[in-house]
Structure 1
């Protein structure tokens, strides 16, 4: 209900929600709150278990919102909860569900064995099954009956309704036949019981709920890791000296000290000092960026070498890191749960089954023969038993479980069923460059020595020794290259770093230079044509070129770049052959992006993008009607990964990227992207087939169970046969899902 006061005086708040078991629970909470005076907007994030509400505080209070939610069996945590408290509550709820799942599974095994193999030979079997099934139904399965009742109060139905009706009716009917078997025996009929169906159905569905809840709780791990990028305390410089304060106490304008190895705590401007800062969490680029007075620093980045003093410009929720966290949270919460389709089907299916069951009872009471009461009860029970949701409940999860297992065998880890389900619709794939198409760290890719160079081993030793003295990231790549080759270093008699040019050193009275072409020309060093030509070719491929020379002439040229992964081009070709449109995004410069795109066969690319730009590009493609998969490896990709329809992380990337992503490629091999899409297509096809088989038996057998054939053939479906048909539908669904194991991808 929207009022003038709501518009003029609106407050937004987010509250944790407890007690939700399915997507329709979230819908019930939203619909109830929206009818409350003073509430303008209410959105429930089922995966995140939170409510975002906009309300007029002068018309409704959080306590009244909580009362409204409690009326339909749920709860709002309106008191301030710390992350630790929320985690403890969620862990306790998950542990309770796990305990009930385990107990139900343990008790269901003997019930199944007794019901299927010893129901005729074991005289006390019915009583034993009753004692074992009762705790499964009344304790482990209590949540289904509570959920069904809450749905019924609002004239709705879902999977809880199906479970509660079928297991409840079957249990009551079985208890009646256990206590008073003479009722049917005196009428020439066998008093069948269905305890095994009750026990197994509840155990299976509890297992599915447990797996679902576990996956939802793990979805918050990415947010926790992002929050962990910000230090708890900060060193600030005050008039009376240095002080260490909590991150929350930092104010705009404070002078903050950042030592080598520290994470930058807030967004700010360098006031004093110079250093190299690792900004890969923002740009994704492996090379640290030189920072000096006047440059901006961002929270979460890492200072590498020198000490820095910065003036705080943005703190708390205003930093770029905080915006990344917020965008990831919003993107994660916008996705619908995988079981939504089944809940919708169940919402239609259950009322239809109920109507058929009631009509069956009435028809037999009105038109039945001599044993009309017995036949009416048996026919109604047959309808409810054969309409058991076991096959419907198994249709999606069994295919998903086999699909996830098949993916794991291929090195494709699928975190949630939703990602596997959505991937079949993907028609556009966005690839981050660094760490996804390329290796993600600078390395020596080319070495060209002048033809006339002699005693090359000795010269390599001198060059290696020079680069070992430098702190520049390019020098570190060269140093690593020769160290891994086993080259030994020697101490130079003289060493000097020339900012923006390179380095110089002396060995045994002879001077050597290493750096760019400008350095050599300033020292009047001769540049052989063969090295100049080689350098130009390497620069066209967007590689950084370093010359090495003595005092007279250049001796060699070295190229350093982020090398392309061996399978990148093959993987991109496989995606294109699978009908996927491939895009490359990078924070690197346009020349490098063009060179990489050309080498791997990507036709569409964009360069010099910040994390929010990547997420914006994802939304742009989605607005064009495309279903987008994002493939990345770093924190800078987290926003785009969370925004995409399907998120895929490289296994050698950051933990944050892998936690945000629904799919992780353990071998960091782009050929696996096309495999993952084909696996999704096969899995979704299997789900659709399973849903057909789940309903096929119902469509064919429910009319037969109701007695449709009796007037013509005298055939009346026995509840035991109905139970067997129900089991057969489940077997068909599971068997069809297992076919995925042998599917060629």
Structure 2
């Protein structure tokens, strides 16, 4: 089954899209065809052995529209070069603007000639005497009417598509919006021609009453005004619709256009389209990475915000993977291309967002069904309205005719057709901006009804990598225990062993060497260090080695109750210590689970861990329900069981091991950044590997569905109210009726209103803060990830310290997060200390105080806590005088812009703190001295943006 996208031309309303869809779906071999009015595109899945691409194009042409394959199609539209949807949209916008301008140019004199007496009577605008001599009075009636007729001919010619398409579709039995507009405008023009003949007959026969009757009831101005107002509405609508595709355009802008490759020892700059797998690509600092690949030379840090949303650059070295559209920050590297062109991550993301924005949600079916009957029903109502007024109510033909035209031109199937796709495109685009990739409109709609979220544990709730959490020496120091443990575990491939060796390597505690290594399956390891036998493993191994563990039973139980795995270390006589390892929870997991609870969504954790470990995690994160001891292949059964109970279930997993469960769930969310976005197994992909994005995805779905319902309400409400009003139901009692020109203006306004309402979704805010000051402020070091972030991105001293005194303490002996908590607690308890941030990896603490504190006082507190104070910086009194200024900045479009502006301002002399608000297009700056506006303007301009003075 082949899946292909086609560009469709000539559609004007949902009746058109419905007609194209039906025409293609009738073909043998078509699995599904879905037409999107907003993007003027069609997604078709078909059997190539039964139906061809050209057959599909011909079916669209036979239905009265144009079609061509989107980029990459094998056939082209006859006689036309291949164009992208973006190119087609730009050409249509240009043509529409040209048509609108010239229509207005000719309409103005028509309106003045037709209504000059009203302008004088109503507004006191004088009419030139020469003008009155030519056009005023019954004796000039033919000149008056025929001049209007000549002036509307260019307007009608410029807007001939309404007549050609409208009447063609009408005669084919599939009338659309063009039919309504074309019939209304043409009827008004033909009535005017008829009036000229009647006036001519009256003049020839001396019937000046007949001349006066028809000269005051011409409809030439209505014929021109109707199509011109529709043009205005269409132009405004097109501009509004154009704003919905900005997310895809931003993604496309992220992809580099050129690459520097090393071929035969020579550097050559080539277009990225010419890259092939295996190319060696040279990437300098500041350049975007043009392909997915592996670093073959050099080290660097990479800004992956474009893909994962993480603001902190990631350190990379030889052998590490890099992803297309990320930015090389510091180092000079070579990479070997592994995925190029359409296979790169950024290309797949663009494709995913494009297909999602062009797809239909189930809620759209109601509007599509109604639109299919809407236009024929309106034409019928218009005819009946005219006949009732003329034959039943006894009014003159002019009144009945005017009322029928009003019904035709006020009815708006466009609003119905745009209600759903415009909101879906904005919603999926907004999700893509924030690392939430939603596959389809159906998935977007499903998410809003979710009442149960099932989560995998490893890699979803937790980091997915075991880490050392506790070091409890029973003999010797912590450093000695870690060094011995690292030497023992060096020969093991077990993930728990890797956690210990990694920790030891990070803290330079790998000096010991083991020999005679033995892996004891299911129990641990044994080796000789410095001529002495050591053991590492569980209590079963200790029992076999005749080493007593009774004294540490309470400690082992306490660690197990906390969800940690204790590893015992012993020499040939006794236990020398315990090191606990755990797959720690992600920083935001608890917050996400709490947010789900606030939304009334039940959370279930599925894990293969034992009940004791699972229960510990449940209590820490306040998870309502945990199912432990579940094998990956059995997760699908638990999803099915919840669905059988009537729940709408979302499954959040890694997209690989959890594929069956993801596919079974009503909504599958693959959580995991990098090159594998798990497109096949999930309905949505959370690029940041963060559960808060799952919360945002459901919140976004609710916002989109609410917006769609609002759009549908206003579209239905507009037609339900305006069609009877145009038909004159209020005229007998209140004398209220609609002029056809007012009806045409209202019709245009309804579509424009629906588009603008959908665009409000652009202001949707995710659960994550996009404030740069938050992203770069000093992180809490109560977790390994936060500590790592603190070492990767040094925080400017002034940004983190509001108090007047700042101290940096070098502390020796901190080994784990319990040490961090202890040191933080004792420092914050000191008199005068306002804040203390402890960095485990850096073995230091940054302390803020509102008064001077001596080195001896710090040393006493640190020593009492069981650690050693190595060094203390000289206290620094900060400047009391500060300047605060808010800058309005134009040109910021995304988080890259936000960070760019932040870094540029933060680097200015005297600037002590910067907060950049992307949505508000502003920056709040604090400085230790007065900085002139001109200096800010220059820095902003050099960064590529504009300071609004």
Going from structure 1 to structure 2, the CA distance change for 1:338 and 1:663 (only over 3 Å counts) comes to: farther
Alignment pair present for 1:50 and 2:83 = no
In the TM superposition, what is the alpha-carbon distance from 1:448 to its structure 2 partner?
2.0
Partner of 2:719: 698
TM-score, L = length of structure 2: 0.51
Going from structure 1 to structure 2, the CA distance change for 1:640 and 1:743 (only over 3 Å counts) comes to: same
Verify the 8 A CA contact 1:468 1:479 in the aligned structure 2: yes
| C-alpha distance in structure 2 between counterparts of 1:648 and 1:624, whole Å | 21
Q: CA-atom RMSD, angstroms?
A: 5.0
Pairwise mapping of residues 343-742 of structure 1 onto structure 2 (< 5 A)?
343-363=368-388, 366=391, 372=397, 375=399, 377-401=401-425, 403-404=427-428, 412-450=436-474, 453-484=475-506, 486-490=507-511, 492=513, 494-500=515-521, 501-527=523-549, 529-530=551-552, 532-588=553-609, 592-609=613-630, 613-652=634-673, 655-657=676-678, 660-711=681-732, 716-734=737-755, 736-737=757-758
Going from structure 1 to structure 2, the CA distance change for 1:195 and 1:52 (only over 3 Å counts) comes to: same
Going from structure 1 to structure 2, the CA distance change for 1:721 and 1:508 (only over 3 Å counts) comes to: same
SS in 2 for 1:635: coil
In the TM superposition, what is the alpha-carbon distance from 1:685 to its structure 2 partner?
2.9
Verify the 8 A CA contact 2:643 2:649 in the aligned structure 1: yes
In the TM superposition, what is the alpha-carbon distance from 1:722 to its structure 2 partner?
0.8
Verify the 8 A CA contact 2:31 2:46 in the aligned structure 1: yes
SS in 2 for 1:498: strand
Structure 2: tracts of 5 or more residues without a match: 9-16, 35-41, 64-68, 113-149, 198-213, 252-355, 768-949
| C-alpha distance in structure 1 between counterparts of 2:23 and 2:727, whole Å | 33
| C-alpha distance in structure 2 between counterparts of 1:440 and 1:552, whole Å | 35
Verify the 8 A CA contact 2:489 2:498 in the aligned structure 1: yes
Verify the 8 A CA contact 1:185 1:191 in the aligned structure 2: no
| C-alpha distance in structure 1 between counterparts of 2:189 and 2:218, whole Å | 19
Alignment pair present for 1:191 and 2:179 = no
Offset from partner CA, 1:228-262 (integer Å, 9 cap, x none): xxxxxxxxxxxxxxxxxxxxxxxxxxxxxxxxxxx
In the TM superposition, what is the alpha-carbon distance from 1:717 to its structure 2 partner?
2.2
| C-alpha distance in structure 1 between counterparts of 2:438 and 2:167, whole Å | 32
Verify the 8 A CA contact 2:678 2:685 in the aligned structure 1: no
| C-alpha distance in structure 1 between counterparts of 2:195 and 2:701, whole Å | 50
- Report which stretch shifted further, 690-699 or 584-593: 584-593
Partner of 2:806: none
In the TM superposition, what is the alpha-carbon distance from 1:356 to its structure 2 partner?
0.8
SS in 1 for 2:717: helix
Going from structure 1 to structure 2, the CA distance change for 1:19 and 1:677 (only over 3 Å counts) comes to: closer
Corresponding pairs, count? 576
In the TM superposition, what is the alpha-carbon distance from 1:180 to its structure 2 partner?
11
SS in 2 for 1:545: strand
Partner of 1:103: 91
| C-alpha distance in structure 1 between counterparts of 2:678 and 2:75, whole Å | 24
SS in 2 for 1:552: coil
Pairwise mapping of residues 7-26 of structure 1 onto structure 2 (< 5 A)?
none
Offset from partner CA, 1:124-174 (integer Å, 9 cap, x none): 996776676557998xxx8x999x68xx97x7x7xxx54443455467569
Verify the 8 A CA contact 1:402 1:737 in the aligned structure 2: yes
Pairwise mapping of residues 79-94 of structure 1 onto structure 2 (< 5 A)?
88-89=72-73
In the TM superposition, what is the alpha-carbon distance from 1:387 to its structure 2 partner?
0.9
TM-score, L = length of structure 1: 0.63
SS in 1 for 2:378: helix
Verify the 8 A CA contact 1:107 1:136 in the aligned structure 2: no
Offset from partner CA, 1:104-135 (integer Å, 9 cap, x none): 12322344456579841699996776676557
Going from structure 1 to structure 2, the CA distance change for 1:379 and 1:424 (only over 3 Å counts) comes to: same
Going from structure 1 to structure 2, the CA distance change for 1:669 and 1:715 (only over 3 Å counts) comes to: same
SS in 1 for 2:678: helix
Going from structure 1 to structure 2, the CA distance change for 1:576 and 1:542 (only over 3 Å counts) comes to: same
Offset from partner CA, 1:396-416 (integer Å, 9 cap, x none): 344445545665677655454
Verify the 8 A CA contact 1:108 1:196 in the aligned structure 2: no
| C-alpha distance in structure 2 between counterparts of 1:468 and 1:132, whole Å | 80
- Report which stretch shifted further, 197-206 or 695-704: 197-206
In the TM superposition, what is the alpha-carbon distance from 1:735 to its structure 2 partner?
5.0
Partner of 2:364: 339
| C-alpha distance in structure 2 between counterparts of 1:722 and 1:388, whole Å | 10
SS in 2 for 1:478: helix
Verify the 8 A CA contact 1:181 1:191 in the aligned structure 2: no
Going from structure 1 to structure 2, the CA distance change for 1:162 and 1:71 (only over 3 Å counts) comes to: closer
